[in-house]
Structures are given as C-alpha cells and as structure tokens.
C-alpha cells in the first residue's frame, strides 16, 4: 500500500484529504523546521491517544529529539538525509535505538554512491530505508535501483524498501512488483476523480491490490475497534473510493451493487483504518460500529455474540444509559464513593490472591469495576488500549516505584504479620515472659494505626533492611563474575539528547541562554553570570572552625602537589650534535567545575585549584551552581580566593560546561575543563572535548562515586561499614563493593548488621537505600582472588583493610587512589591527607590518572642539530622519508646535506 507524506501543519489542522490519509496504516509526518517540531511535540504531549501508528520524518538537525518523539508514542522516526555527511550522522545516532524504531530517507541525487558503499551497515541498522530525489522519478534509473535493492548484497535486509514517486499510477504497480513500497507527497494525492494532475487516493490503493476473481472484487475483513472480526464482505474500486471519501464503511454487494453499511438502519460504521495483508489480496477495514450488530441477525458479529473484555465494555456503556433505577449498576454510576471503595477492595483482594484461580477471579472483579469507573468518566476501552499501545513504544523506562502511602501500607501489613506470629508463639508458650521485641512492634503498630486515622504523615517504621547483593566467587560462573564488574547502567543516548540542545543554546546565545538555564534548572533568577575577583569579604564569611579545617587541608594538599612539580628541562644528546629537550608549560586558562546540588563542596574547589595554582596557570575560573538565594556558598568563595581564581561562574550542569568551553559575552573561553559532576556534566564534557569548534580538553570521564574495600579477619566491621557508607551516600547511582577474604558467615553477618545500623541513622539514608541494594558483597577465599577482582574492577577508591596492606601495593594495577590499613578512611583522602580526590570512575582507572599537577601542564619538546649532528642522521631521515613517499620531507634534509658535504 502507498505511504503518504503530509506536512506537520496539515496533520495538526487536517482537511478532508488529510483525515482520509490518516486512515492508512502508515503515514509519514514531515517535520523539518524548528517551529514544526515544537508544535508537534506539544500536540503529542497534550493528546496521549493521538495516531498510534505515527511515523515522523525528521531533519538530521533534530537528531537529539529522537528519544522525545519515541517516548511520546511515535512508532518510528525517519531521518531525512540530503547530504552524504548527514548519512553518517544518522547512522551514529541510530545505533542506540531498536532497528524497527528508526529509519532513513535518502536523497538518491546526492547520496546514491554513499548509500551503495554503506549498504552492509545500513541494512543492519534500519528496517525502514527509503529513497527520494529526481533520479527516483526516472523510470530506467528507478528500475535499475529497485533491482539492486533485491540483489544478493541486500538479502540480509529484514525490513521494507520505500521509494518516492509523484503522480503516476503505473509507478505504484511497478514498485510493488519489486517489493518496494511507494512514498507519495500528499500534494500529489486527491479525493476527486477528475483531477488529472493528481492521483485519486482510492485508485492509488487499488493499484497495489491483486485479485483472482473475475468480477475484480477484493475480499475484505471487517473488524471493530478491538480487532474482533465482525464479518467478511467484498470491496470494489468504487466502494474503496467512497469509503475513503466519506470515511465510513462502504462495500460492494454481489447482488445489490454499492452497499453503504447502515445507511437505512442507522447502524453505520466510522472507518478507522484500512489495511492490506502481506499478499495484497485481502483488505482489512477497522471500524467503529454504531448501534447493535454488524450481522443481519442483529448480533455483534456474523459469528455470534461477542465475548471478553470488549463485550463487557460495550455492555457497561449500554447499562449506563439504560440501567433501571435501584439496580446495582445504577448505584455504581451514581455513588462515586461506593465505586471507589469497590475498586480498592478488589485491588487488595487481587494482591492477596494465592493461586492462579483466585488471581483470575479477583482480576475479573477488578477489571469490571475499572471499566465502570472509566465509563463513568467518559473513557472507553479503546482509550485505555491507546495508552497501553503508546506506553509500549516508550524508550525511556521509569523506576516504577510505588507511591509512599502504598509503601507504608505494605509495611503496616508486615508489622501486623510479625505481631500475629509473636502472639501465636506466646500462646504456644504461656510461661514465657513478655518479649521486648513484641512490645516494640506493638508500639510501632499502634503509632501507625493512630496516624493512619488522621491526616498526619505515616512515620517510616520497620523499613526494609539496607543490604548489599551477596555472592560467593567459587559459586558463580565467569560470565556472572564479569557482570559484577559492571556499573549501574547510564542511559547515555537519552542523556546526550538532553545535553546537546543545552550546549547549542549557550554556544549561540551566550549569557542570555546561561541565565535562562540557571533559572530553569537551579530555580534562581540571576542578573549576572559570575562573581568577579577580588571577592567581597562578606561573600566568604565562614565559622572559624571551618576556616581552620580548610586551611589545614589546603596546606597538606598543597605540600603533596608542590612535591609533584618540577620546572627542570630534560635534556639529552641522542647523538653527537643532536640535542633533544623537554620542558613543561602551564595551560593558560582553566575552568574548574565544582558540583553543588545537595552538598557544599569547598574540598572539590581546593582539590582542583591547588594543582592548577602549583602548575602556574595564568587564569583560573571556578564554576559552581548558585544557591536558592542567588549566592555562592561562602566556603567555596573562600577557597576560590585562596587559589587566586579570577571569577566564579554562577552556573551548573551542562550549561556551565558550555559557557567554559565556548565562552560567552562575560565569561572567557578556557583551554581545559576539570572537575567531577553528574552524568549530564560528564556527557557535556565528553561532547565539547570532541567538538573541534570548542578547542577544549578535559581531565577525564567521570561517573558516579564508587569504592571497593578488601577486608580480611583483621578488619573491624564498624570500620568497613563506615567506609562503604561514606561513598554510598554521595548519590543513588553510587556503587560500593566489599570483597571479603576467607571470612566465615558470622563475620560477614556482623558487617551486614553494622552496615544496616549505621545507614539507618544517616541524614542521607534515603540515598543510601537506593545505592546499597545496587552494590555488591563478594566472598573470596584468598587475597590473590581479591586483588585480581579489584584490578579487573578498577575502582575509583580502593581501601585495603588488612594487616599486610602496604606489602600489597606492588600488585595494585588499576585504582584511582588507594587507602592502606585500618586507620586510613577514604574520607581523609577526600579532604585533608594531601592526595587528590578528583579520580577516574566507572572503570576508567584502567587508563586515566586522578587530577594532579600534570593535569594542568603540557610538555613541549625541542631539538637542536649542529652540522655534525645532521650529517650523522641525515641519510637515515632521507631513506625513511622516501619510504613513506614524502619527497618534500626528504628534500628539506637533502639541500642541507649537499651544502654540508660540499664544504668538506
């Protein structure tokens, strides 16, 4: 069947032709301009039950909107490629999406050769590949190309080919013979039969059908909104045209000619969709049947009464209009409290079901009352199915956690069950004394019940145990061991699609965009983008104990980093007369990203600023999100002043990275960006690093905080638990790993108990409840196994709590920073011992170092050759240059050697 392309404007404000086109199984909405995309996204957000089989033709400039469109229920996003370079961009963008959700529409005039050379990749990436352009309108070239699409080179393609045509019926038949679907602009279609410049829509559909009947009729299956078969009829060219024109069920009677269903009885059909089967010899009309019955026997179908949920839905809808006064159905529709109570009652009974039969019974009750509720509010079963269909197309997945009030109810039930169990035990042992645990449970239960009867918030009692996933190394396979090395999954494509528009806006609009994003994300409206040095004394007023602590930490970190720096020039004479040197130079302007959010981080400011200061960078910018009142944390300002920062940019997130990478009207562009951040900051850093227009480098990729602890029998459980929690509290995506060496069950339980006890009283316990269950406890037999696992994991922080920790250092291959012994908590490295806390995460410790003085230096080499030196190495250089085919390189040496040797 043909595939029409309609404009976004026509889709949003449809005329008669567009409404008829939307009946077809596949319709492409062309969206190539900014305002079109904005309008379409807004419409899809406001109308969740819009066209379920919508396909959007998108300009490659909007690749970042793919996730948004797919999440809003668009079946497929097709990228329109008019230039060869865009084809590669589209290929790169499509790799993270299912192949049946993205497609490519390629200009044959400009991209034919590129397509042919990329066929193996394209046919594996997309299941929708189409072609347009003037060449696709030329019969010979189109035939040759269609033949190529069916060649052996393309046999691995599992999708469908599409080719653009204009207004020739014969082109439709020709393409379908090759198995290629014709794509037609809606401007080339018409509902009129006498428009010689356009193709009649009915004729276009009939051109793609086949039949072996002498009367040229087409077998047609008629189904209702729920795809239930109503009956079998016949269609003709004339009836198809009429159906599409008036968008109602019109068929061809073999006895009476054209048959407009229900025209006399009133049982008409609204035509919802026309489709054709894979052999193109059977039509399917999906209709909304009015009044009772499709069959002449007044049954809903020609195969008898309808059954199932769809029949129940129709029955409830009918009862709403006809239910007698005093009937139960009438009560449900008129008494909303009764209906709501029954819904909650049946839902609870389904939750309590213990067998398949019981679950089916309770589900039936719940579905009945749910349909009554929907019908009372004017929602149909079709509306419900439309939402389900749309959700099935969503790319981004939600966590799916229950709302707090239902989680609390579950805890209440658990406590009741425990109480009943305790009471039963007491009844079985009448002589036993009162159990203190039972008393505490009773008290908690009483508190919950008291609060649940009022508007008070239910307190979080009897929360689930905070515990890591536990494994024995000798009981898991090699694949399972490998899976333990993986970090929590980051949705990189989704994050990138959100970050790229922010980078673009700041790069183009500068300060205005930066201030807008700060208002949007940080919820504070600023009048300026930064705080310039010298910083006013009132902006860095902090308590004396905090000041002294920062000063102590600052001094230690400065000492350690100062010791790393050497301004000496390395010089070596590789041969007589050939002197090579290497000397350091500071990176001139650097940007330091200091996260904000849920914590104040002066430590990150000096961990980044001190090595930059020691390296001698000419200008240091600090970038950090403002507080809700528009100010910067005074602790951060105090440290920024100590490191000699020229300004503090009051912004966070991807927009802050963009400001430093590209510069704005008031913020100078930097040469390097350093500092940790969330996944959006990390994504932004990676993007600008690879953007040649930014000309900026970064320190390293960074992900969520992580820690690995190796502990044996000499370790103290409360120390282990405290170290694990010191990283787990950073954020819900943090991960910690505990590797125990030859510990028995009692020792491991002691650690788990201590972890739960300490976590339960932390102010950030809600964060820990999310991060700890994602974390891992691995039990191994030997220290060798522990070290090997740690090296494979490559943690950001590695703590070794053994008596022999120092002797293990030579065996540590991959780690950001190592903490040795029982009295070296990771917290000290975070703040004051002297080492840097900006470290590689997510396994990047295998190839990156943490921030150090060298992070802010570049090294330049020089060489000085005398005549003697050039004479010694010149012949070898000439030969190598000639070998590589670089004659000019060779000549640069030859002309000098000739002079040197001529003078001898």
Residues assigned a catalytic role? 796-797
Q: Which residue has the tokens 């966070």?
A: 652
DSSP conformational letter for 433: P
Query: Can you tell me the distance from the alpha carbon of 875 to that of 897, in angstroms, rounded to the nearest whole number?
Result: 9
Minimal CA–CA distance to 707: which of 717, 692, 722? 722
Coil vs helix vs strand at 606: helix
Query: Can you tell me the distance from the alpha carbon of 279 to that of 575, in angstroms, rounded to the nearest whole number?
Result: 80
Coil vs helix vs strand at 24: coil
Cβ proximity of 709 and 737 under 8 Å = yes
Does the bond joining 75 to the residue before it have cis omega, within 30 degrees of 0? no
Count CB-CB contacts under 10 A for residue 123.
19
Sign of CA dihedral 717, 723, 727, 730: positive
Query: Can you tell me the distance from the alpha carbon of 228 to that of 24, in angstroms, rounded to the nearest whole number?
Result: 19
Residue 262 in tokens = 């229900």
DSSP conformational letter for 63: G
Query: Can you tell me the distance from the alpha carbon of 733 to that of 774, in angstroms, rounded to the nearest whole number?
Result: 8
- Beta strand spans in 559-713 (E): 570-575, 578-586, 589-593, 619-624, 647-650, 672-674, 697-698, 706-711
Query: Can you tell me the distance from the alpha carbon of 168 to that of 196, in angstroms, rounded to the nearest whole number?
Result: 10
Query: Can you tell me the distance from the alpha carbon of 90 to that of 71, in angstroms, rounded to the nearest whole number?
Result: 19
276 forms beta bridges with: 283
Nearest-Å Rg of the Cα atoms of the chain is 36
Query: Can you tell me the distance from the alpha carbon of 785 to that of 718, in angstroms, rounded to the nearest whole number?
Result: 24
Between the two ends of the chain, the Cα-to-Cα distance in Å is 87
Query: Can you tell me the distance from the alpha carbon of 652 to that of 626, in angstroms, rounded to the nearest whole number?
Result: 8
Beta strands at 797-801 and 706-711: parallel, antiparallel or unpaired: parallel
HEC string for 299-342: CCECCECCCHHHHHHHHHHHHHHHCCCCCHHHHHHHCHHHHHHH
Residue 378 in tokens = 């004017």
Cβ proximity of 200 and 242 under 8 Å = no
78 forms beta bridges with: 57, 103
Residue 691 in tokens = 């953007």
What totals of helices (H) and strands (E) does the chain contain, helices first? 33, 31
Query: Can you tell me the distance from the alpha carbon of 44 to that of 160, in angstroms, rounded to the nearest whole number?
Result: 26
Cβ proximity of 834 and 552 under 8 Å = no
Let me know the angle formed at the C-alpha of 678 by 88 and 751, rounded to the nearest 5 degrees: 125
Q: 615: part of which helix (H) or strand (E)?
A: helix 602-615
Count CB-CB contacts under 10 A for residue 568.
8
Beta strands at 589-593 and 672-674: parallel, antiparallel or unpaired: parallel
Query: Can you tell me the distance from the alpha carbon of 323 to that of 339, in angstroms, rounded to the nearest whole number?
Result: 16
Beta strands at 160-165 and 128-132: parallel, antiparallel or unpaired: parallel
Q: In whole angstroms, how far apart are CA 546 and each of 1, 101, 552, 623, 837?
A: 74, 55, 10, 22, 19
Beta strands at 269-276 and 706-711: parallel, antiparallel or unpaired: unpaired
Query: Can you tell me the distance from the alpha carbon of 871 to that of 904, in angstroms, rounded to the nearest whole number?
Result: 11
Coil vs helix vs strand at 804: coil
């Amino acid at each position: 069947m043909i595939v029409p392309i309609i404009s976004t404007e026509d889709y949003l404000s449809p005329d008669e032709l567009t409404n008829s086109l939307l009946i077809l199984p596949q319709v492409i909405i062309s969206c190539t301009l900014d305002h079109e995309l904005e309008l379409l996204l807004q419409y899809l957000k406001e109308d969740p039950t819009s066209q379920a089989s919508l396909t959007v033709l998108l300009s490659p400039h909007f690749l970042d909107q793919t996730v948004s469109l797919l999440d809003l229920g668009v079946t497929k996003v097709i990228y329109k490629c008019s230039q060869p370079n865009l084809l590669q961009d589209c290929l790169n963008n499509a790799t993270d999406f299912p192949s049946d959700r993205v497609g490519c529409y390629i200009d044959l005039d400009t991209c034919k050769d590129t397509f042919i050379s990329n066929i193996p990749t394209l046919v594996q990436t997309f299941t929708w590949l189409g072609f347009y352009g003037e060449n696709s309108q030329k019969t010979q070239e189109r035939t040759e190309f269609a033949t190529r699409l069916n060649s052996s080179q393309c046999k691995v393609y599992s999708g469908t080919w599409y080719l653009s045509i204009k207004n020739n019926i014969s082109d439709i038949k020709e393409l379908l013979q090759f198995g290629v679907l014709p794509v037609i602009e809606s401007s080339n279609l018409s509902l009129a039969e006498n428009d010689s410049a356009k193709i009649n829509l009915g004729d276009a559909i009939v051109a793609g059908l086949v039949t072996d009947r002498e009367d040229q009729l087409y077998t047609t299956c008629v189904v209702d909104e729920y795809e239930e078969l109503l009956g079998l009829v016949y269609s003709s060219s004339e009836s198809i045209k009429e159906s599409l024109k008036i968008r109602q069920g019109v068929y061809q009677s073999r006895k009476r000619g054209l048959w407009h269903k229900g025209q006399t009885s009133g049982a008409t059909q609204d035509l919802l969709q026309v489709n054709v089967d894979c052999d193109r010899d059977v039509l399917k009309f999906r209709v909304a049947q009015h009044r009772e019955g499709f069959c002449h026997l007044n049954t809903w179908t020609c195969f008898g009464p309808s059954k199932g949920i769809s029949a129940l839905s129709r029955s409830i809808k009918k009862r709403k209009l006809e239910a007698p006064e005093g009937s139960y159905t009438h009560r449900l529709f008129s008494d909303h409290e009764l209906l709501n109570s029954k819904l909650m009652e049946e839902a609870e009974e389904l939750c309590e079901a213990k067998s398949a039969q019981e679950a089916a019974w309770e589900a039936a009750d719940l579905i009945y009352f749910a349909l009554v509720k929907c019908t009372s509010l004017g929602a149909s079963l079709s509306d419900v199915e439309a939402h389900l269909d749309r959700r099935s197309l969503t790319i981004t997945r939600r966590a799916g956690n229950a709302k707090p009030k239902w989680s609390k109810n579950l805890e209440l039930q658990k406590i009741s069950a425990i109480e009943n169990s305790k009471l039963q035990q007491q009844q079985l042992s009448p002589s036993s004394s009162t159990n203190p645990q039972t008393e505490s449970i009773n008290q908690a239960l009483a508190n919950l019940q008291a609060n649940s009867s009022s508007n008070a918030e239910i307190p979080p009692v009897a929360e689930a145990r905070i515990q890591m996933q536990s494994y024995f190394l000798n009981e898991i396979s090699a694949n399972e061991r490998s899976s333990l090395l993986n970090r929590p999954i980051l949705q990189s494509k989704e994050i990138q699609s959100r970050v790229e528009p922010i980078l673009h806006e700041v790069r183009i609009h500068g300060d205005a965009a930066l201030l807008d994003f700060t208002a949007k994300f940080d919820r504070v409206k600023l009048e300026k983008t930064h705080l310039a040095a010298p910083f006013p004394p009132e902006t860095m007023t902090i308590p004396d104990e905090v000041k002294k602590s920062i000063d102590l930490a600052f001094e230690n970190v400065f000492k350690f980093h100062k010791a790393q720096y050497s301004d000496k020039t390395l010089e070596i004479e590789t041969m007589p007369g050939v002197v090579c040197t290497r000397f350091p130079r500071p990176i001139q302007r650097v940007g330091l990203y200091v996260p904000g959010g849920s914590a104040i981080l002066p430590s990150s400011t000096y961990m980044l600023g001190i090595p930059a200061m020691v390296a001698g960078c000419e200008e240091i910018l600090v970038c950090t999100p403002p507080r809700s009142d528009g100010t910067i944390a005074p602790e951060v300002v105090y440290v920024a002043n100590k490191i000699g920062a020229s300004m503090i940019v009051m912004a966070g997130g991807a927009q802050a990275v963009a400001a430093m990478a590209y510069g704005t009207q008031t913020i100078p562009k930097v040469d390097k960006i350093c500092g940790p951040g969330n996944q959006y900051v990390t994504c932004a850093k990676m993007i600008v690093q690879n953007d040649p227009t930014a000309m900026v480098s970064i320190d390293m990729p960074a992900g969520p905080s992580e820690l690995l602890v190796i502990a044996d029998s000499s370790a103290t459980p409360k120390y282990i638990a405290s170290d694990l929690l010191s990283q787990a509290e950073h954020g819900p995506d943090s991960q910690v790993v505990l590797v125990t060496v030859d510990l028995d069950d009692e020792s491991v339980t002691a650690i788990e108990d201590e972890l739960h006890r300490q976590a339960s009283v932390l102010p950030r316990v809600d964060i820990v409840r999310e991060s700890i269950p994602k974390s891992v406890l691995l039990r191994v037999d030997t220290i060798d196994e522990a070290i090997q696992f740690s090296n494979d994991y490559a943690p950001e922080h590695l703590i070794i709590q053994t008596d022999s920790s120092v002797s293990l250092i030579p065996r540590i291959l991959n780690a950001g920073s190592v903490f040795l012994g029982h009295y070296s908590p990771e917290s000290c490295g975070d703040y004051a011992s002297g080492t840097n806390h900006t470290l590689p995460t997510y396994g990047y410790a295998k190839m990156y170092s943490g921030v150090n003085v060298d992070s802010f230096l570049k090294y330049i080499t020089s060489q000085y050759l005398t005549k003697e030196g050039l004479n010694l190495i010149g012949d070898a250089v000439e030969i190598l240059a000639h070998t590589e085919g670089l004659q000019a390189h060779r000549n640069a040496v030859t002309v000098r050697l000739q002079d040197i040797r001529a003078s001898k």
